[in-house]
Amino acid sequence: MPSGHRPTVAEAEARIPHLRANGPAPYAFTLRTSFSPGAAQPLTGEVPEGLGCSA
């Protein structure tokens, strides 16, 4: 996908089986796991306070 591409709902739904079978990956991920462009491994680190997220 080109940088900045926003997947459609249909694209996201098509990736759910991959996510369930393989866990988070650059192809299919959750909002709790992020990947830098071109990375195969997720980014690690603390979630900054005040974002309303929990790790």
Per domain, the residue ranges of the chain are: 7-34
**What per-residue confidence (pLDDT) applies to 30?**
82
Closest by CA position to 36, among listed 54, 15, 45, 8: 45
**What per-residue confidence (pLDDT) applies to 54?**
56
**Helix, strand, coil % over all residues of the chain, rounded to 5:** 25, 0, 75
pLDDT: is 1 or 11 the higher one? 11
Q: Which pair of structure tokens corresponds to residue 30?
A: 């959750």
What is d(CA 36, CA 38) in angstroms, rounded to the nearest whole number?
Answer: 6
**What per-residue confidence (pLDDT) applies to 39?**
65
Span 3-49, pLDDT tens digits: 788 889 999 999 999 999 998 888 888 877 777 666 667 666 655 56
